């Protein structure tokens, strides 16, 4: 079933050339989100893949990680914690700087997040490319004492080092589909 789901998901993801900068082929998952059945199937498949890992909270990375992370958390019956760009969260935060395909950025998490020593965390985002934002989120979770039980993505870009980078951090990585290079 995952093979047919993967094909369906791929058919709903648009390729946008030269966004956000020239030379980047952006994979826009909004076509998947706009398709109610595809979106429901995708979030259910992500939740099912990690159900046995027994996460206690889902962490989603801004912004599309919120779109997929909240329904995954609901499906698993756990809470959701956002990892946001710098300066977007109120109160005390901890942050991590990281590099991405086309620059640098910083992500933050609130200190009051329900992640403590031993809390089992599932990381969700729409896409893994270089792995910079996901590695930064893993660092944030681990810095709060949490244990990352997996990282789920809609899309993997396997020609980029992201999934391998996360595996090198000891995190299980799963994506619903992948795109190689200029593949549509």
pLDDT bin (cut points 50, 70, 90) of residue 179 is very high
pTM: 0.95
Burial of 55 (0-12, 13-18, 19+ CB in 10 A): buried
The whole-angstrom separation of Cα 55 and Cα 98 is 25
- Whether a cis peptide bond, with omega within 30° of 0, leads into 20 is yes
What is the structure's pLDDT at 99? Answer: 79
The model's pLDDT over 111-159, given as tens digits with 9 standing for 90+, comes to 999 999 999 999 999 999 989 999 999 999 999 999 999 999 999 999 9
pLDDT bin (cut points 50, 70, 90) of residue 169 is very high
Which entry of 27, 64, 84, 165 is annotated as an active-site residue?
64
State which CATH number among 3.40.50.720, 3.40.50.10240, 3.40.50.2020, 3.40.50.300 fits the domain covering 2-178: 3.40.50.2020
* Domain extents in the chain: 2-178
Answer whether residue 42 shows pLDDT above 60. yes
Return the sign of the alpha-carbon dihedral for residues 67, 175, 177, 75.
negative
Answer whether residue 101 shows pLDDT above 70. no
Residue 9: which of 178, 181, 182, 183 has the closest Cα? 178
Q: Angle at CA 144, nearest 5°, toward 143 and 150?
A: 80
Which entry of 101, 106, 120, 142 is annotated as an active-site residue?
101
Quickly list H helices, the chain: 2-12, 30-34, 36-50, 64-76, 132-143, 162-168
The per-residue pLDDT of the chain, averaged, comes to: 94
Answer whether residue 1 shows pLDDT above 70. no
Answer whether residue 102 shows pLDDT above 80. no
Does residue 62 carry a catalytic annotation?
A: no
The model's pLDDT over 46-99, given as tens digits with 9 standing for 90+, comes to 999 999 999 999 999 999 999 999 999 999 999 999 999 999 999 999 999 997
Which single residue is written with the structure tokens 């090198």? Answer: 168
Distance of CA 175 to the CA centre of its chain: 9
Does residue 64 carry a catalytic annotation?
A: yes
The whole-angstrom separation of Cα 167 and Cα 179 is 19
């Amino acid at each position: 079933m995952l093979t047919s789901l993967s094909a369906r998901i791929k058919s709903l993801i648009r390729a946008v050339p030269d966004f956000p900068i020239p030379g980047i082929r952006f994979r826009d998952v909004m076509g998947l989100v706009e398709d109610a059945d595809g979106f429901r199937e995708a979030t259910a498949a992500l939740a099912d893949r990690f159900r046995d890992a027994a996460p206690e909270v889902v962490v989603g990375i801004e912004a599309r990680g919120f779109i997929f992370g909240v329904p995954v958390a609901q499906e698993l019956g756990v809470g959701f914690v956002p990892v946001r760009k710098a300066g977007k969260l109120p109160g005390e935060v901890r942050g991590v700087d990281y590099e991405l395909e086309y620059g640098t950025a910083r992500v933050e998490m609130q200190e009051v997040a329900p992640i403590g020593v031993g809390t089992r965390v599932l990381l969700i985002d729409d896409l893994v490319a270089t792995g910079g934002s996901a590695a930064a989120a893993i660092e944030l979770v681990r810095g709060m004492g949490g244990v990352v039980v997996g990282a789920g993505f809609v899309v993997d870009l396997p020609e980029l080092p992201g999934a391998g980078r996360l595996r090198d951090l000891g995190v299980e990585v799963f994506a619903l589909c992948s795109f190689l290079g200029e593949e549509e």
